[in-house]
Every structure is written in C-alpha cells, then in structure tokens.
Amino acid sequence: MSVIIATKVSGDTSVFAKSLEERADEYRQWGERGRAAGAIHHQFAVGDGFVLVVDEWESTEAFQKFFGDPEIQAFIGSVGGDPNVAPEVTVGESVDSADKY
C-alpha cells in the first residue's frame, strides 16, 4: 500500500515562486528522479511563509531515502527553503474510499 506524505517547508515563498519558472528544467529533473525512486504523485501548494509538498510514494522508506539526499536538501535551500527550520513531515497510509477522486 502506498503512503501519502505532506511536507511543510518554511521559507521565502517569493523566491520559491520565481524559481518555478526560472528553474523549471531542474524541477523536471527532480520529478524524474523522484518517480525513479518511487514517487507516484507530487504537488506543491504555497501558504504564508511555507511551501506544502503533497506526495504519494510507494513506501515511507523510498521517500526518506530520496528526501534525505544532500543534493535535494541543497536544492530546497536554493529555491527559498529555510535551512534553519526543519521541515514538518506527516506520513499516512493511503486508503481507498467511496468518495475518492
């Protein structure tokens, strides 16, 4: 069974928003690496002083290996993530329901 992972990263959301356009190729490369590592779905949302990442992964272990890579951590910092604030990570087992879409 897959897992849903919500990761809240504190940081400068204006730097992040700008990077989505200016560094789109890098985001595509990270997306490819994520899929190869076990990511199934991926989406960003922006809040007041944070970026929320909502993913579905094959397993918690696959996510942890990917997210723990120093290269992805450096990338997050370079696109506005605050290296002084640890991301908040919430993991839950994905379940099916009659109202799922």
Domains of the chain: total: 1
- Cα(68)–Cα(84) distance, integer angstroms: 16
- On whether residue 100 sits in a domain, the answer given is no
Average of per-residue pLDDT across 11-16:
98
With CA atoms as reference, report the closest residue to 37 among 69, 7, 70, 1.
69
Domain with residue 75: its CATH number is: 3.30.70.100
Does 98 reside within a domain? no
Question: pLDDT digits over 31-86, tens only?
Answer: 999 999 999 999 999 999 999 999 999 999 999 999 999 999 999 999 999 999 99
For residue 1, what pLDDT is reported?
87
Domain containing residue 29: 3-93
| Structural domain includes residue 21 | yes
Q: Is residue 64 part of a domain?
A: yes
